Every structure is written in structure tokens, then in C-alpha cells.
Amino acid sequence: MTDPALTLYRLQACPFCERVVRLLQEYDLEYDSRFVEPMHSDRDVVKRVSGKRTVPALVDHTTGATLTESANIVSYLEATYGGDAPSASAEPATAGEGS
């Protein structure tokens, strides 16, 4: 089995994560889901991967990009995998989402 090129760190029922999942499914992209715990202090793996403890966090093994914040991730996916012309580039993560 080949591993999907995308790994999504997510929290069960997190709306920001589901927003990303919806787009991944819309683009028919294969991805691995890694579920983490609600407590931020229990999310060392996300911190190691992305530098932050928030989810969603997406790792694109093809491009080497690691993104946080659903708006950033959505922009990145649209620009990288969307059929339309690139819209926005993914900005470095900023604070805001509380998931």
C-alpha cells in the first residue's frame, strides 16, 4: 500500500477540520487522518510537525509544505490542487482558531 501524500492532523468533530476534509474530498485527494486529543497539552505531535498545537494541520509530503489554520489550508489546497487559477497563497499561520 502506498501512503497518501497528505497527512491531516485533526480533532473529532472540529468544524475547522471538517472544512478542510470537505475540500480534500471535493478534490478527490487521498489523505491520512491522524486524530489527536481535545487537550492542547496532549498534542505534542502537532507541535513537532507544525510548530503549533492547533488543528487542523496539514502536511503535504509532495511539496514539503506544512500548514495550519483552516483558511490557510483551504487557500493552499485551492492554489495547489484546485482546477481554477490560483487565488491566494498560503500565508504563515496566525492565531485565531481555537480548535
Q: Which long-range contacts (CB under 8 A, 24 or more apart) does 19-25 make?
A: 19/56, 19/70, 19/74, 20/56, 20/58, 20/70, 20/73, 20/74, 20/77, 23/74, 23/77, 23/78, 24/77
Please tell me whether residue 99 binds another protein under the rule CB under 8 A.
no
| Gap between the Cα atoms of 68 and 92, Å rounded | 8
Residues 44-83 that bind another protein (CB under 8 A): 44-45
Cβ-based nearer residue to another protein, 5 or 79: 5
Are residues 70 and 47 in contact, defined by beta-carbon separation less than 8 angstroms? no
Cβ-based nearer residue to another protein, 1 or 95: 1
Question: Cβ of residue 39: shortest distance to another protein, in angstroms?
Answer: 11
Instruction: Kindly write out the interface string for residues 13-42 of this chain, putting x where it contacts another protein by CB under 8 A and - elsewhere.
Output: -------------------xxxxxx----x
Please tell me whether residue 88 binds another protein under the rule CB under 8 A.
no
Can you give the binding site for another protein, defined by CB under 8 A? 1, 9, 32-37, 42-45
